[in-house]
C-alpha cells in the first residue's frame, strides 16, 4: 500500500455483522434468535439471600483438592475465571436472588457480565477458558433463575468448559418461558456430564458457532420449544443421554451442524419433527425411539439424506429407509440407488482394482447392468461414475475416517465422480489415490450436482484438486474434514451457482490454492478453519469468500487497499451499510503512519452516521496516540492476527482492539475500521 500522512478510512462492527448473519428471531427461523442487549446499569454488590446449602447446621468438610468450593451464588459468580475448578456444595442456587440486587458487579475481573433480558437480568460468562463447574458426586445441586426470558447459564467466546453433576432450569411459574437453559455462543470444547436440563426453558441447549461439544449421561426434558437449537457448528456429540417430555415444532433444530447421537433415548416427546437439520448431518448409533419419535423420525428421513441411523437403533415403527451394510466395492455398487442409506464397514476399498477385475471377468460393458453406476475408461484406468441419484448417503461405520478408505490407482481418474446427483451425504471416509506422485485426476468430482454434505472426511492428493465442482446449482456443506496434499489446490469450481460452506475444516499442504470463477453466483464461507501457506494466499483475499475465526498460514504480500488514488480528505459515509462490508486481512505495514477520524452510527435502523470528536494515529515504531476531546492517551500497538490489532497502555494491558473492512464489491474502496475501546464500539474513517 502506498504510504501517506492521512488516510481516510471507516470501520464496521464484526460482532454485530456476525450476529446479524447468524442470529435470527425464534419465531421466524425455527430456534434462531438475536442475543439480548447488555444492560447499562452497573450491578451493586450486596449479600445474597441465604441459599439452601447455607442452612445446614454444620459447614461441610472442604477437601484439599485444589478446587474452589462454594455454597452460595455470590461466591460462585465471583470465583469464575480462566483455569478455575469450582465445586458447588449440595443445594439450590437461585441466581436471580443475587444478581437482581447486585449493583457493583458480580465478578471483580469482569468474567461475568449482567444482561437485561426483558423481565429481569441474566449472568453471561464471557472470554473464559479452562473452566469447570461441578456439583459433588451423588448429591443434588441445582442452579435456577426466575425471569422467564433469561437463560439459566450463558457462555460467550469461551473455550474448554466443563459442567458436571448439575441440575439447571427456571423456577416454577405459570408464565411461559422465552429463555433457554444453556446458551453457548462462539464456544469450543464443551463437556457436559451428568447434567439434568429441564424446562419450562424454551430449549435445553441453544448454540451458535460451537466447535466441539460432548454431552454424556445427561437428561434434557420438559422444554417448551425443543430440546436443542444449534447452528453453524461441528463435532456435537450426545452419548447415553435422554430426551423426554419436550414440546414444540422440532425436538432437534439445527442449521449447518454435524450432530451425532450414540446410545441415546428419545421418549414421551410431543414435537412435530424429531430432527430438523438443514444443510447438515445427523448420525444416530444404537439409539432407542418411542412411538411418536419413531413416526417423526421416519418422516424426517424422507426429506433429509443427512439423517443416518445404524442397525442397532430400535423403533416402534417400520422405517421406509433401512441401512444397507456393505464391506466390499461390489456390495457398494450394488447398493447405490436413490433414497438409500449405505453404511460401510471399516476397510480399504480398492475401487479401480474392482472395476478392472469386473471388466476382465464380465466384459467391458459389465457396468451397464447398473442403473446409477457407470465407468469412464480413462487413459490409464477406469473411473467410477455415480449418476442421476438423489437422497443417497454413504457413511463409514467407524467415526475414525482413516478406518474406511476409498482408493483408486489410475493417475488420470477421480476417486469418485458424481454427475447429475442431488441430496448426497458422505461421512467418515478417507478418499484419495493409492500412491503419491503426479496426478491428472481429482479426488471428488461434482458435475451438475445439487446439495452435497461432507462430514468427517479425509480427502488427499496426489489428486489435482480435492473437490472440483462444475455447473453445480446446489450448496455444499463440509464439516470436520481435512483436504490436503493436492497438486493444484484443495478446491475449484467453474460456472457454479451455489454456496460452499466449510466448518472446522483444514485445507493444508497443497501446492496451490485452487481456481474459481469470480462471480456473484458463487460464494465460499469458512468458519473456524485452518489454512496452509498456499491456501492462505488464495482464500484470504478473495472477494467472494467470507471467513470467520480462521487460522492462516504465512502470507508475504497484502493487497494495496485503495490503490494510488486514495483520498486525502475526510469521507465519512453519511449512511453505513454493514451488510456490504467484508473483513480486510492486513499486516503492520497497512497501519504504519496512518491517521483515523472517529464517528458513530447515530441511527441503527437507517445507518445514519455522526462525527465523533475522537481520532487515532498509528506510528511505524509501534506506538501512537488516541485523542478524545482534550484527552490524549499514548499507547503501543501490534497486530495479533491477520484480521485484528490491539492497543496497549503503559502497563501492557489491552484496552482496544480493531478490525478493518472494505466494500466487498471492490478492494479499491476506502478502508473502514471498527474499534472496541474499553467495551465501547467506535468507528473510524
Residue 558 maps to a domain? no
Q: Which pLDDT score, from 0 to 100, does residue 506 have?
A: 96
112 vs 110, more confident: 112
Same structural domain, 291 and 381: no
The answer, yes or no, to whether residue 303 has pLDDT greater than 60, is: yes
* In the chain, % of residues over pLDDT 90: 54
Instruction: Pick the range with the lowest mean pLDDT from 219-223, 488-492, 537-541.
Output: 537-541
The answer, yes or no, to whether residue 42 has pLDDT greater than 90, is: no
Residue 272 maps to a domain? yes
Question: For the residues 650-656, what does the mean pLDDT come to?
Answer: 85
The cell for 136 is 459433588
Angstrom distance (rounded) from CA 298 to CA 303: 9
Instruction: Pick the range with the lowest mean pLDDT from 60-69, 215-224, 469-478, 625-634.
Output: 60-69
110 vs 220, more confident: 220
Residue 248 maps to a domain? yes
Same structural domain, 263 and 336: no
Classify 17 as helix, strand or coil.
Answer: helix
Residue 257 maps to a domain? yes
The answer, yes or no, to whether residue 445 has pLDDT greater than 50, is: yes
Classify 264 as helix, strand or coil.
Answer: coil
Q: Which of 89-98, 277-286, 549-558 has the highest mean pLDDT?
A: 89-98
What SS3 string covers 57-78? CCCCCCCCCCCEEECCHHHHHH
Q: Which pLDDT score, from 0 to 100, does residue 462 have?
A: 79
Residue 288 maps to a domain? yes
Which of 278, 309, 340 represents a domain boundary (last residue)?
A: 309
Q: Which pLDDT score, from 0 to 100, does residue 679 have?
A: 62
Residue 169 maps to a domain? yes
Query: What sign does the dihedral 282-283-289-291 (CA atoms) show?
Result: positive
Antiparallel, parallel or unpaired: β 288-289 and 340-344: unpaired
The cell for 547 is 471467513
Q: Which of 128, 134, 266, 265 is nearest to 193 (CA)?
A: 134
Using alpha carbons only, give the angle 413, 415, 416 rounded to the nearest 5 degrees.
105
Same structural domain, 581 and 635: yes
Q: Which pLDDT score, from 0 to 100, does residue 53 have?
A: 40
Question: For the residues 323-350, what does the mean pLDDT come to?
Answer: 97
Same structural domain, 252 and 353: no
Q: Give the domain CATH number at 537.
A: 2.160.20.10
Same structural domain, 534 and 638: no
Residue 47 maps to a domain? no
* In the chain, % of residues over pLDDT 70: 85
395 vs 23, more confident: 395
Q: State how many domains the chain has.
A: 3
Q: Which pLDDT score, from 0 to 100, does residue 246 have?
A: 94
Q: Give the domain CATH number at 634.
A: 2.40.128
Model confidence band, residue 559 (pLDDT cutoffs 50, 70, 90): low
Which of 309, 336, 366 represents a domain boundary (last residue)?
A: 309
Q: How many CB atoms lie within 10 A of CB 169?
A: 22
Q: Which pLDDT score, from 0 to 100, does residue 43 have?
A: 35
The answer, yes or no, to whether residue 230 has pLDDT greater than 80, is: yes
Tell me which residue range forms the domain holding 477.
324-548
Angstrom distance (rounded) from CA 469 to CA 453: 13
82 vs 2, more confident: 82
Same structural domain, 170 and 246: yes
Same structural domain, 228 and 303: yes
For 111-178, the DSSP string reads SEEEEE-SSSEEEEEES-EEEEEEEPTTS-EEEEE--TTS-SEEEES-EEEEEES-EEEEPP-SSPP-
Q: Which pLDDT score, from 0 to 100, does residue 604 have?
A: 63
Are 278 and 475 within 8 A, CB to CB?
A: no
Q: Which of 592, 629, 615, 633 is nearest to 682 (CA)?
A: 615
Model confidence band, residue 147 (pLDDT cutoffs 50, 70, 90): confident
Same structural domain, 581 and 666: yes
Q: Which pLDDT score, from 0 to 100, does residue 436 have?
A: 64
How confident is the prediction for the chain on average, in pLDDT?
Answer: 84
Question: For the residues 446-470, what does the mean pLDDT come to?
Answer: 93
The answer, yes or no, to whether residue 15 has pLDDT greater than 70, is: no
Question: For the residues 346-355, what does the mean pLDDT come to?
Answer: 96
Same structural domain, 393 and 486: yes
Q: Which pLDDT score, from 0 to 100, does residue 26 have?
A: 38
685 vs 300, more confident: 300
Classify 103 as helix, strand or coil.
Answer: coil
Digit-coded pLDDT (tens) for 166-213: 999 998 766 677 889 999 999 999 999 999 999 887 899 999 999 999
Same structural domain, 197 and 344: no
Question: For the residues 264-288, what does the mean pLDDT come to?
Answer: 92
The answer, yes or no, to whether residue 146 has pLDDT greater than 80, is: yes
Classify 527 as helix, strand or coil.
Answer: strand
Same structural domain, 124 and 88: yes
Residue 46 maps to a domain? no
Digit-coded pLDDT (tens) for 394-422: 999 998 999 999 999 988 899 999 999 99
Model confidence band, residue 3 (pLDDT cutoffs 50, 70, 90): very low
Angstrom distance (rounded) from CA 652 to CA 619: 17
Q: Which pLDDT score, from 0 to 100, does residue 584 have?
A: 83
Q: Which of 377, 358, 378 is nearest to 369 (CA)?
A: 358
The answer, yes or no, to whether residue 631 has pLDDT greater than 60, is: yes
Model confidence band, residue 671 (pLDDT cutoffs 50, 70, 90): confident
Which of 286, 309, 332 represents a domain boundary (last residue)?
A: 309
Same structural domain, 581 and 534: no
Give pTM, 2 decimals: 0.75
Q: Where do the DSSP E strands lie in 571-630?
A: 581-583, 594-601, 609-618, 623-628
Amino acid at each position: 500500500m502506498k504510504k501517506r500522512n492521512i488516510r481516510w478510512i471507516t470501520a464496521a462492527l464484526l460482532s454485530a455483522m456476525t450476529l446479524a448473519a447468524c442470529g435470527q428471531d425464534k419465531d421466524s427461523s425455527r430456534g434462531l434468535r438475536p442475543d439480548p442487549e447488555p444492560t447499562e446499569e452497573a450491578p451493586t454488590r450486596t449479600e445474597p439471600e441465604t441459599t439452601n446449602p447455607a442452612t445446614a447446621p454444620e459447614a461441610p468438610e472442604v477437601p484439599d483438592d485444589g478446587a474452589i468450593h462454594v455454597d452460595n451464588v455470590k461466591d460462585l459468580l465471583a470465583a469464575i475465571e480462566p483455569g478455575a475448578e469450582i465445586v458447588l456444595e449440595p443445594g439450590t442456587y437461585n441466581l436471580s436472588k443475587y444478581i437482581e440486587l447486585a449493583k457493583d458487579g458480580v465478578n471483580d475481573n469482569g468474567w461475568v457480565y449482567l444482561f437485561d433480558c426483558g423481565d429481569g437480568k441474566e449472568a453471561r460468562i464471557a472470554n473464559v477458558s479452562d473452566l469447570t463447574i461441578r456439583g459433588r458426586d451423588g448429591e443434588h445441586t441445582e442452579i435456577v433463575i426466575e425471569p422467564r426470558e433469561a437463560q439459566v447459564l450463558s457462555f460467550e467466546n469461551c473455550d474448554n468448559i466443563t459442567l458436571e453433576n448439575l441440575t439447571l432450569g427456571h423456577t416454577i411459574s405459570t408464565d411461559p418461558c422465552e429463555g433457554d437453559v444453556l446458551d453457548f455462543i462462539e464456544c469450543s470444547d464443551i463437556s457436559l456430564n451428568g447434567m439434568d436440563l429441564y424446562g419450562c426453558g424454551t430449549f435445553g441447549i441453544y448454540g451458535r458457532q460451537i466447535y466441539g461439544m460432548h454431552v454424556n449421561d445427561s437428561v434434557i426434558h420438559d422444554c417448551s420449544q425443543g430440546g436443542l437449537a444449534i447452528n453453524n457448528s461441528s463435532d456435537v456429540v450426545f452419548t447415553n443421554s435422554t430426551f423426554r417430555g419436550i414440546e414444540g415444532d422440532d425436538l432437534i433444530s439445527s442449521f449447518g451442524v454435524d450432530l451425532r447421537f450414540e446410545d441415546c433415548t428419545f421418549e414421551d416427546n410431543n414435537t412435530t419433527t424429531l430432527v430438523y437439520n438443514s444443510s447438515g448431518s445427523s448420525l444416530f448409533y444404537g439409539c432407542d425411539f418411542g412411538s411418536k419419535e419413531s413416526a417423526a423420525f421416519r418422516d424426517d428421513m424422507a426429506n433429509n439424506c443427512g439423517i443416518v441411523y445404524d442397525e442397532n437403533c430400535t423403533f416402534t415403527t417400520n422405517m421406509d429407509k433401512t441401512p444397507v451394510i456393505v464391506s466390499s466395492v461390489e456390495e457398494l455398487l450394488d447398493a447405490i440407488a436413490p433414497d438409500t442409506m449405505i453404511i460401510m464397514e471399516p476397510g480399504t476399498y480398492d475401487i479401480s482394482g474392482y472395476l478392472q477385475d469386473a471388466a476382465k471377468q464380465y466384459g467391458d460393458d459389465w457396468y451397464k447392468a447398473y442403473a446409477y453406476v457407470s465407468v469412464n475408461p480413462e487413459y490409464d484406468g477406469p473411473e467410477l461414475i455415480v449418476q442421476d441419484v438423489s437422497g443417497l448417503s454413504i457413511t463409514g461405520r467407524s467415526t475414525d475416517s482413516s478406518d474406511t478408505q476409498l482408493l483408486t490407482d489410475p493417475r488420470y481418474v477421480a476417486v469418485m465422480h458424481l454427475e447429475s446427483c442431488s441430496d448426497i451425504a458422505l461421512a467418515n471416509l478417507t478418499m484419495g489415490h493409492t500412491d503419491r506422485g503426479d496426478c491428472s485426476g481429482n479426488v471428488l468430482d461434482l458435475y451438475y450436482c445439487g446439495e452435497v454434505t461432507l462430514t468427517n472426511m479425509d480427502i488427499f492428493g496426489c489428486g489435482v484438486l480435492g473437490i472440483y465442482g462444475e455447473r453445480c446449482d446446489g450448496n455444499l456443506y463440509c464439516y470436520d474434514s481435512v483436504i490436503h496434499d493436492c497438486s493444484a489446490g484443495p478446491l475449484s469450481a467453474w460456472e457454479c451457482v451455489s454456496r460452499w460452506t466449510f466448518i472446522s475444516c483444514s485445507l493444508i499442504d497443497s501446492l496451490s490454492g485452487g481456481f474459481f470463477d469470480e462471480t456473484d453466483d458463487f460464494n465460499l464461507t469458512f468458519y473456524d478453519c485452518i489454512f496452509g501457506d498456499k491456501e492462505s494466499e488464495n482464500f484470504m483475499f478473495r472477494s467472494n469468500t467470507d471467513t470467520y475465526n480462521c487460522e492462516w498460514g504465512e502470507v508475504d504480500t497484502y493487497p494495496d487497499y485503495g490503490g494510488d488514488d486514495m483520498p486525502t480528505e475526510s469521507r465519512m459515509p453519511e449512511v453505513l451499510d454493514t451488510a456490504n462490508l467484508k473483513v480486510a486481512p492486513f499486516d503492520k505495514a497497512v497501519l504504519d503512519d496512518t491517521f483515523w477520524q472517529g464517528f458513530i452510527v447515530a441511527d441503527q435502523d437507517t445507518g445514519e452516521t455522526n462525527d465523533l470528536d475522537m481520532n487515532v494515529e498509528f506510528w511505524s515504531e509501534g506506538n501512537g496516540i488516541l485523542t478524545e476531546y482534550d484527552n490524549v492517551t499514548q499507547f503501543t500497538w501490534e497486530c495479533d492476527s491477520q484480521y485484528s490489532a490491539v492497543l496497549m497502555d503503559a502497563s501492557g494491558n489491552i484496552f482496544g482492539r480493531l478490525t478493518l473492512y472494505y466494500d466487498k464489491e471492490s478492494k479499491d474502496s476506502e478502508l473502514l475500521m471498527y474499534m472496541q475501546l474499553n467495551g465501547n464500539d467506535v468507528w473510524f474513517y
